[in-house]
Amino acid sequence: MVWHAVNQPRLLVNPLLHSLLPLAQRRGVLPPQLVRKTSLAKQTLPASNLRVSPQDWWQLLQNAQQALPNSELWQLLSEDLIQQSYSPLLTAVTSAPTWGQALHWLKRYQSLLLPLEFALTERHGDFLKLTLLPRLGERLGALAAPQLLAVGVLINLARAHQVAVSEWHLSWPLAAEVALPSAWHKWLGSIHTGPLLTLHLPWQQLSQAKPGGADEQPALAQALSFCQLQHQHARYQSLLEQVLRWLLVRISQQQTVSIELLAQHCNLSVSSLKRALAHHGSHYQSCVDSVRQLRLLQLLQQYPYNNTELAQLLGYANPNNFRRACKRWLGVCPDHIRANLQPLFS
């Protein structure tokens, strides 16, 4: 497979369009409906020299979710992306010698396919826990289109590696109003509601070798070289992840956060940091709110803290301000979240 993309923005959207446009047209959805509110609306489709931003990529998926409300879309789209080898990252991951190496490369080079998603990983007993976060500033309590695509990609990559997804456990947000593909209900070990979109994968699967992997080494070397070359240009994505992780550490440790301290940590001026965040349609306060949402849900899974305790842990001087922020973030008050998570405390 030869990938003709020569720059990061073009590489991001071409695989998606190759799979999405035919799926949409077979269902009566024309390209103008999919590319509205993006720079693609002013370009000729299909084309080999598309210019897009990660913001366009996100908007394209949101448009698809609205125009194609069928829950099977995400399974079909992720399956086609992998089968057709539209992305060098997916070729590299599919050809990886072990499932653990596949996940490592998918995380390292995720900006080549899923530029606005963040996956926090941690060992949770005998499982690897993946927490999939939406782009900064989005509400954590609802499933966004990019998250659904990310889950679909993970499931179908695992099946390509002959990994038993029947041993996986998927938790999806309490407030989500999106139906999941029927195949996921059939394949996965369990699907239940929770505060965040998380996947639990058996730790022992990480060392599982891919059958016949030795035959795919030439394709792997070519794809991996291409990923490494393109990854050098994905600076904004690595900066966003750096911002997210710095804020999470500081807020978790109840330390002071400010845009000045963050800019200093990133070795940028405040104005340069603002421009970098604006490049992805985000800003400093939305980053802080996203991390506070995440930390709130993490805390409520550990212990049923009351509002005063939660406000203090999240850096709010006034519990009423925290309560209003929670309602704004998640659409529900902390009491509602505690009630729905009560089984986790037993």
Segment 304-318 shows an average pLDDT of 90
Least confident of 88-102, 280-294, 306-320: 280-294
Mean pLDDT of the chain, nearest integer:
80
Q: How far apart are CA 217 and CA 226, in angstroms?
A: 14
Q: Six-digit token pair at 215?
A: 């035959």
pLDDT tens sequence across 128-186: 988 877 655 555 555 577 788 889 999 999 999 999 999 999 988 765 667 889 999 99
**What is the residue extent of each domain of the chain?**
8-211+218-231, 235-345
SS3 state at 3: coil
Q: Which helix (H) or strand (E) holds 242?
A: helix 235-252
Instruction: Give me the residues paired with residue 118 across strands.
Output: 133
For residue 54, pLDDT over 80 is answered with: no
Could you tell me what percent of the chain has a pLDDT over 70? 80
Those residues whose C-beta lies under 8 Å from the C-beta of residue 304, and which sit 6 or more positions away, are 338, 341, 342, 345
Terminal CA-CA length for the chain: 52
What CATH number belongs to 8-211+218-231? 3.90.1520
Report yes or no: 305 and 115 within 8 Å, Cβ to Cβ. no
Q: Can you say how many angstroms the Cα of residue 326 is from the centroid of all Cα atoms in its chain?
A: 22
pLDDT of residue 211: 85
pLDDT, tens digit (0-9, with 9 covering 90-100), for 221-253: 888 887 877 766 555 456 777 888 899 899 999
Rounded average pLDDT over 322-346:
71
What pLDDT score was predicted for residue 346? 32
| pLDDT the model gives residue 264 | 95
The whole-angstrom separation of Cα 39 and Cα 58 is 12
Which tokens hold the place of 2?
A: 């030869």
Render pLDDT for 98-124 as a digit per residue (tens, 0 to 9).
999 999 888 888 777 766 566 778 888
Higher pLDDT, 320 or 234: 320
| Residue 10 pLDDT > 50 | no
pLDDT digits (tens, 9 = 90+) for 261-304: 999 999 999 999 998 888 766 789 888 988 888 888 788 877 88
Give the DSSP letter string of 97-159.
SBHHHHHHHHHHTGGGT-TT-EEEEEEETTEEEEEEE-STTS-TTS--HHHHHHHHHHHHHHH
Q: In this predicted structure, what is the pLDDT of residue 68?
A: 85
Backbone angles phi, psi at 198, to 5 degrees: -135, 150
Both structure tokens of 128: 């690897």
Helix/strand/coil for 194: strand
| Residue whose pair of structure tokens reads 């966003």 in the numeric block | 240
Classified as helix, coil or strand, 319 is: helix
Segment 53-60 mean pLDDT: 74
Position 66 pLDDT exceeds 90: no
Please tell me the predicted confidence (pLDDT) of residue 138.
56
CA distances from 70 to 74, 126, 175, 181, 281 (A): 9, 35, 19, 8, 27
* Better-scored residue on pLDDT, 64 or 86: 64
Pick the CATH number of 235-345 from 3.40.50.300, 1.10.10.60, 3.40.605.10, 3.40.309.10: 1.10.10.60
In total, the chain counts a number of residues equal to 346
pLDDT of residue 4: 37
The whole-angstrom separation of Cα 262 and Cα 246 is: 8
